[in-house]
Structure 1
Amino acid sequence: MKSEANLIPAQFSGPQRIVCLTEETTEWLYLLGEEARIAGISGFTVRPRRARDEKSRVSAFTSAKIDKILALEPDLVLGFSDMQADIAAQLIRAGVPVMVFNQRSVAQIFDMLAQVAAMVGAAERGQTLLLQYRERLALMDQAVQAQMAQGRRRPRVYFEEWDEPPISGIRWVSELVRIAGGDDCFPELAAEPLGKQRIIADPLEVVRRAPDIIIGSWCGKKFRPEKVAARPGWQDVPAVRHAQLFEIKSPDILQPGPAALTDGAEQLHRIVMQWMDAHG
């Protein structure tokens, strides 16, 4: 008879065959040096680029190839958002362990990354990286405070996630705009978790809020500043009048993980600092 003691693992090893239904957990596991644990990824993954060549693509965002996921024999599936609840339910019924995060703020992004690092036994490495991210964000804030000490003001920023209909930025984007030195034109909408709740019913409301900077990140579709500038009534918007329309690619800012805290935040910061320098 096998001893019950033999059924107890000698040490924590964590999940060995992880399926990531969104990009941020894939990128994070690569940054942790734990990419060997990844068995499958989202088809939308572009960070890191090599993941597309190395891993099986098994999902979109709101849909997934359940049979293909099950064939990978995952011991953990990582997802994001209530929009993946149906995928999660199918996998749970098939007996697969599933963890779906719902991070919407900068603080929640940090918490999610710390939890994933702990799950794979890389808590120390994770904390080192997260400290670096915090320090980079703190340096941005210090640069903003230095500008304001010289009498400069924060620019008003309109961040657009989608154009038809116009949808303003989600909470972590709004918070990163603030850290980068700007003021979100629609802070009340940023608190809404769903895109349909952040639709700007009257596009002229953007005109009334007079953004100094417009940033587009159209969820994988190329941002067209000339189309934005040509919207009826928008010709007198300060951002349009002074050609302050910019694109930040959605993988850099709209995935709530390492990219948003690093490349996304830094692009926001550069845009805002350039505006402050020009309006001293």
Structure 2
Amino acid sequence: MSDLQSKDLLPKRIVCLTEETTEWLYLLGEDWRIVGVSGFTQRPKKARYEKPRVSTFLNAKIDKILDLKPDWIVGFSDMQANIANDLIREGLPVTIYNQRSLDEIFSTLYQIAVTVGKGDLGLQKLNEMRERLDAIQVAGQQFSRRPRVYFEEWDEPKISAIRWVSELIQIAGGDNCFEAESRESGAMNRVVTDEAVIARDPEIVVGSWCGKKFLPRVVANRAGWEQITAVKTNQLYEVDSLIILQPGPASLLEGIEALHQIFKSWQSDQ
């Protein structure tokens, strides 16, 4: 028998159930390994047309995935447990990550890079991202005052920021009004009431309603919200969910930049 080579042991037919893995593999130049992607994939846009779409966030076309003969299936969140269960019962190798913090995002991306034989390149890119986060944090520390920020992930019910978004808010120069809630992994544990938001009086409201357009006018017209400083001063902003609610490169590259620009603009008006 011939000696094994590491390249022969790496996965060559990967199905990505969520888009952060797809984007990361493209950034690593390993997109040739991808044989299936999420139907929600937008980054990079060409992946949506180059690769078969085999899943949504909560459902997957099991037969189609089987036809692709994957040697690794990668997903995100406990909410994909049922998909993972079905695929495992079919004898397929499945990894579901559950990253919630920035440290966990960095760790997950590194693990994926190592798994496709690009650990060194992955580490280089992650260090570049970390350096940019550090630079933004230094810039945010120069603000004369940090704005109180309410980040709304969904409107009915009102879901406040998940942990990595809360950490990005902090780095970008703001203070999340619901920081304690952000440490809850389940979305329903981050639901907040009108009364709670009014009481914490955010100076900036950032909306990122996953999959639908944020409507500042609707937010401003909520009962009692006319008392909120952000509404009085028209500090209602949208950050596209594609660049902030993805626990991967998009948040680290573009989501943080969008938040910092909002806070920087607010700061200049103080």
TM range (shorter): over 0.9
Asked if residue 10 in structure 1 is aligned to residue 5 in structure 2, the reply is yes
Asked if residue 225 in structure 1 is aligned to residue 220 in structure 2, the reply is no
The corresponding residue for 1:64 is: 60
AA of the residue aligned to 1:11: S
Counterpart secondary structure, 1:79: strand
Contact 1:40 1:58 in 2 (8 A): yes
C-alpha distance in structure 2 between counterparts of 1:135 and 1:190, whole Å: 24
The corresponding residue for 1:269 is: 260
C-alpha distance in structure 2 between counterparts of 1:234 and 1:36, whole Å: 50
18, 28, 39: which one aligns with 1:22: 18
Contact 1:204 1:234 in 2 (8 A): no
AA of the residue aligned to 1:253: I
> After superposition, what is the alpha-carbon deviation per residue over 1:200-234, rounded to whole angstroms, capped at 9, x for unaligned?
1x212101100000000001100000000000111
Counterpart secondary structure, 1:136: helix
C-alpha distance in structure 2 between counterparts of 1:84 and 1:18, whole Å: 17
Asked if residue 31 in structure 1 is aligned to residue 27 in structure 2, the reply is yes
> After superposition, what is the alpha-carbon deviation per residue over 1:63-121, rounded to whole angstroms, capped at 9, x for unaligned?
10000001000000001011111111111111111111000000000000000000000
- Residues 92-171 of structure 1: pairs in structure 2 closer than 5 A: 92-147=88-143, 152-171=144-163
Structure 2, unaligned runs of 5 or more:
none
Q: Percent identity?
A: 55
AA of the residue aligned to 2:145: R
Counterpart secondary structure, 2:250: helix
Instruction: Give 1:12 deviation, angstroms.
Output: 3.1
The corresponding residue for 1:179 is: 171
Asked if residue 191 in structure 1 is aligned to residue 183 in structure 2, the reply is yes
Count of matched residue positions in the alignment of Structure 1 and Structure 2: 269
Contact 1:104 1:171 in 2 (8 A): yes
TM-score by length of 1: 0.94
Instruction: Give 1:236 deviation, angstroms.
Output: 1.8
Contact 1:17 1:76 in 2 (8 A): yes
Asked if residue 87 in structure 1 is aligned to residue 83 in structure 2, the reply is yes
Counterpart secondary structure, 2:44: coil
Contact 1:172 1:256 in 2 (8 A): yes
Counterpart secondary structure, 2:105: helix
C-alpha distance in structure 2 between counterparts of 1:223 and 1:209, whole Å: 21
C-alpha distance in structure 1 between counterparts of 2:161 and 2:142, whole Å: 26
C-alpha distance in structure 2 between counterparts of 1:236 and 1:12, whole Å: 61
C-alpha distance in structure 2 between counterparts of 1:130 and 1:119, whole Å: 15
Contact 1:19 1:41 in 2 (8 A): yes
Larger radius of gyration: 1
Counterpart secondary structure, 1:146: coil
Structure 1 runs (4+) greater than 4 angstroms displaced: none
The corresponding residue for 1:259 is: 250
AA of the residue aligned to 1:45: T
> After superposition, what is the alpha-carbon deviation per residue over 1:44-70, rounded to whole angstroms, capped at 9, x for unaligned?
110110101100000000110000001
